[in-house]
């Protein structure tokens, strides 16, 4: 959940690293810091501050007005796990002689005994973090490792439990950085006469699009001229280089005040690009996914595992996959999955949905599933991330980089990607004829235009948002695929506007939640189509009347031309008519706008909500 950058080259490294940190700040923003190796290897200059990178910038300007000369540096932006976000706990951490600097992402689970061991032999630790022990252990391991930083780090990694990406600099090795990774992301950028290390490619994409994904339990040494990768035993390993398929413009705000607002606008393209090339005229083709037709035919049960917004896309997928294939689908929060002994075998397909491909809960869930012989198909937005790497198959969403912490365009892309999987399964199992599959795909292809239409009419939602920004809570109701949309609307509001927000299946209302309704309470209702789901539509109409009778202020998302709902809506947001299973692609959009706008009205940073980070790489 932290952002990590390392640079060796011929430029002034401080600037390169700071720029990289700014691009990675969405991964964690409790504190940040840098260490620069001064020329000649005289010393490591460290500067670090609690709070956003602006605080670090100010400290650097005050303490080092002429900059810090040096062409090798490391930098870190933190999401605190052990120890509060203070200057002392910010990374990099130094050993007692200030020879070794370390930055870390992950959790060192056995840090307590390691710390006790260091303290027992007279080492004073300067911070409360789990990470600092590594700096001291590496420094201590150096003599036995013959002064070789990589060998010392290798030795230390053998003693660490948990998840870590570590990047280590030594004052006597100015043109070299050594890094290790286990269970946390690390990617290498290969430029001309310069080499980068980072948690993700956003940190260096402006300098090079040639990248190398590091594997599990690997050590990489970088210099300006290149890199060497070995495993933890020191044996050289083959790596797979790749070319980043997006450029810097994709990772910039492009005139929007927040990334999230840009990403909401990018949703039609995210959906269109995710569908691109997946239908040949008579069949769904998921070439990249690596499961053959027989394996799909054998599937007799599907589990969807995911977290947060991705989990909500899974709830929608259940409706589509069961409807098209008649195969039972269970949707489970990844964090719960492996702790309850789910029934899995080789005919179970586990669909793991993750934007980042790094979420530890989801990663551990798929590891558990594969141990039980189930096949795992990842739906992921990040090429080469750990979850697709550890899966039997992968289908990439092509939403482009998502920088805002709140997931938006990747959610819509996940909805269509899961439906592609559903159609591929139906095709393999013969539960849908070719022409039916073709019709479903054509309906999906029409969605980008309909999403654009919604984006064109959300201005009243903005006004409404400003109007209800002072409310103490907002409830969201839906049924069928409208229920996950209600959950997603509530999640967006919680994470961005810090308001109490809950999503309920409208049918459950009378079993308890209706007690929450009081005069003026905003309640968002996601209406089903009066054409697609007339019975549910009628039921929800009754529910709206029930809550209005108790004073609720109703905000209704309904299909264009749904005249029956008009008398009961204090605020009506009309979205174009779509097939029911695709309706979340249009009904979610106003809820994203609502949450972003309320957050802005309340004065919060929409891209970096408090306490959160974009990728959750710890359990």
Q: In whole angstroms, how close is the CB of 585 to ligand M6R at the nearest point?
A: 16
Tell me: does residue 543 bind ligand M6R (CB under 6 A): no
Q: In whole angstroms, how close is the CB of 264 to ligand M6R at the nearest point?
A: 12
Residues sharing a CB contact under 8 Å with residue 381, sequence separation 6 or more, in sequence order = 354, 355, 356, 357, 396, 397, 398, 399, 402, 410, 413
Q: In whole angstroms, how close is the CB of 405 to ligand M6R at the nearest point?
A: 5
Per-residue binding letters, 481-520, with ligand M6R (x by CB under 6 A): ----------x---x-------------------------
Catalytic residue among 2, 157, 307, 380: 2
Nearest to 387 by CA among 313, 331, 310, 445: 310
Distance between CA atoms of 492 and 206, rounded to whole angstroms?
30
Tell me: does residue 405 bind ligand M6R (CB under 6 A): yes
Among 71, 348, 359, 386, binds ligand M6R (CB under 6 A): 359
Distance between CA atoms of 453 and 298, rounded to whole angstroms?
40
* Region from 185-193, 249-257, 354-362, 570-578 binding ligand M6R, contact rule CB under 6 A: 354-362
Tell me: does residue 260 bind ligand M6R (CB under 6 A): no
* Region from 54-62, 154-162, 256-264, 307-315 binding ligand M6R, contact rule CB under 6 A: 307-315
Tell me: does residue 137 bind ligand M6R (CB under 6 A): no
Adjacent-strand bridge partners of 571: 555
Give the count of beta carbons closer than 10 Å to the beta carbon of residue 383.
19
* Region from 38-46, 93-101, 234-242, 405-413 binding ligand M6R, contact rule CB under 6 A: 405-413
Helix (H) / strand (E) element for 54: namely: helix 53-63
CA angle (354, 359, 362) in 5-degree steps: 75
**Whether 380 is catalytic:** no
Catalytic residue among 318, 409, 608, 614: 614
Among 137, 160, 169, 407, binds ligand M6R (CB under 6 A): 407
Tell me: does residue 24 bind ligand M6R (CB under 6 A): no
Helix (H) / strand (E) element for 58: namely: helix 53-63
Adjacent-strand bridge partners of 331: 304
Tell me: does residue 600 bind ligand M6R (CB under 6 A): no
CA angle (557, 314, 78) in 5-degree steps: 95
Tell me: does residue 615 bind ligand M6R (CB under 6 A): yes
Structure tokens at 547: 């809550």
Tell me: does residue 356 bind ligand M6R (CB under 6 A): yes
What is the DSSP code string of 529-577? PTTT-HHHHHHHHHHHHHHHHTT-EEEEEEETT-GGGGGG-SEEEEE--
Among 129, 362, 419, 554, binds ligand M6R (CB under 6 A): 362
At residue 6, what are phi and psi to the nearest 5 degrees? -135, 145
| CA distance to 63, 411, 465, 585, 602, per residue, from 596 (Å) | 37, 15, 9, 17, 10
Among 355, 386, 391, 418, binds ligand M6R (CB under 6 A): 355
**Whether 2 is catalytic:** yes
- Angle at which helices 482-497 and 308-325 cross, to 10°: 170
Among 160, 307, 536, 540, binds ligand M6R (CB under 6 A): 307
Q: In whole angstroms, how close is the CB of 31 to ligand M6R at the nearest point?
A: 20
Of the two residues 411 and 568, which places its CB atom closer to ligand M6R in the complex? 411
Nearest to 272 by CA among 413, 158, 113: 413
Tell me: does residue 354 bind ligand M6R (CB under 6 A): yes
| Active site (catalytic) residues | 2, 614
Which residues of this chain interact with ligand M6R, rule CB under 6 A? 307-310, 354-356, 359, 362, 405-407, 491, 495, 615-616
């Amino acid at each position: 959940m932290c952002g990590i950058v390392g640079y060796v080259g011929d430029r002034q490294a401080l600037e390169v690293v700071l720029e990289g940190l700014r691009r990675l700040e969405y991964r964690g923003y409790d504190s940040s810091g840098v260490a620069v190796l001064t020329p000649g290897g005289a010393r490591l200059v460290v500067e670090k501050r609690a709070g956003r990178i602006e605080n670090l910038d100010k400290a650097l300007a005050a303490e080092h007005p002429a900059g810090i000369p040096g062409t090798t540096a490391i930098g870190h932006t933190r999401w605190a796990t052990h120890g509060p976000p203070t200057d002392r706990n910010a990374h990099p951490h130094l050993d007692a002689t200030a020879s070794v600097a370390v930055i870390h992402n992950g959790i060192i689970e056995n840090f307590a005994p390691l710390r006790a061991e260091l303290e027992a032999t007279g080492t004073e630790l300067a911070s409360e973090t789990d990470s600092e022990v590594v700096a001291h252990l590496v420094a201590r391991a150096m003599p036995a490792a013959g002064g070789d930083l990589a060998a010392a780090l290798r030795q230390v990694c053998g003693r660490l439990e948990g998840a870590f990406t570590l990047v280590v600099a030594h004052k006597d090795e100015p043109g070299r950085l050594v890094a290790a990774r286990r269970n946390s992301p690390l990617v290498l950028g290969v430029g001309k006469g310069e080499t980068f290390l980072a948690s993700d490619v956003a940190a260096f994409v402006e300098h090079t699009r040639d990248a190398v994904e590091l594997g599990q339990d690997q050590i990489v040494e970088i210099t300006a001229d290149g890199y060497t990768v070995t495993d933890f035993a020191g044996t050289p390993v083959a790596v797979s280089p790749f070319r980043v398929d997006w450029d810097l413009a994709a990772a910039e705000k492009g005139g929007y005040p927040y990334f999230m607002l840009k990403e909401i606008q990018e949703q039609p393209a995210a959906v269109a690009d995710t569908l691109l090339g997946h239908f040949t005229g008579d069949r769904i083709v998921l070439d990249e996914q690596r499961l053959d037709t027989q394996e799909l035919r054998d599937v007799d049960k599907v589990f969807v595992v995911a977290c947060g917004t991705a989990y909500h896309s899974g709830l929608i997928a259940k409706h589509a996959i069961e409807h098209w294939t008649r195969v039972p689908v269970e949707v489970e929060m990844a964090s719960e999955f492996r702790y309850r002994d789910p029934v899995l075998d080789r005919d179970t397909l586990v669909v793991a949905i993750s934007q980042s491909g790094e979420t530890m809960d989801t990663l551990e869930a798929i590891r558990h599933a594969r141990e039980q012989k189930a096949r795992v198909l990842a739906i992921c937005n990040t090429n080469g991330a750990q979850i697709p790497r550890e899966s039997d198959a992968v289908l990439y969403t092509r939403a482009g980089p998502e920088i805002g912490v709140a997931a938006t365009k990747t959610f819509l892309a996940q909805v269509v990607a899961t439906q592609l999987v559903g159609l591929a399964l139906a095709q393999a199992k013969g539960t849908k004829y070719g022409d039916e599959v073709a019709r479903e795909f054509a309906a999906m292809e029409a969605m980008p235009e309909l999403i654009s239409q919604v984006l064109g009419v959300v201005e009243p939602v903005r006004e409404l948002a400003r109007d209800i920004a002072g409310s103490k809570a907002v409830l969201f109701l839906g049924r069928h695929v409208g229920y996950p949309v209600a959950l997603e609307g509530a999640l967006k509001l919680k994470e961005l506007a810090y308001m109490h927000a809950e999503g309920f299946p409208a049918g459950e209302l009378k079993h308890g939640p209706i007690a929450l309704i009081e005069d003026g309470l905003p309640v968002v209702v996601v209406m089903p189509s009066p054409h697609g789901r007339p019975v549910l539509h009628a039921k929800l109409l009754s529910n709206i009347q029930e809550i209005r009778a108790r004073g609720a202020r109703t905000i209704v998302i309904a299909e264009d031309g749904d005249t029956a709902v008009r008398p009961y809506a204090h605020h009506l947001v009309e979205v174009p008519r779509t097939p029911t299973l695709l309706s979340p692609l249009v009904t979610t959009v106003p809820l994203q706008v609502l949450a972003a706008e309320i957050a802005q009205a309340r004065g919060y940073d929409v891209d970096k909500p408090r306490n959160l980070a974009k990728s959750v790489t710890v359990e």
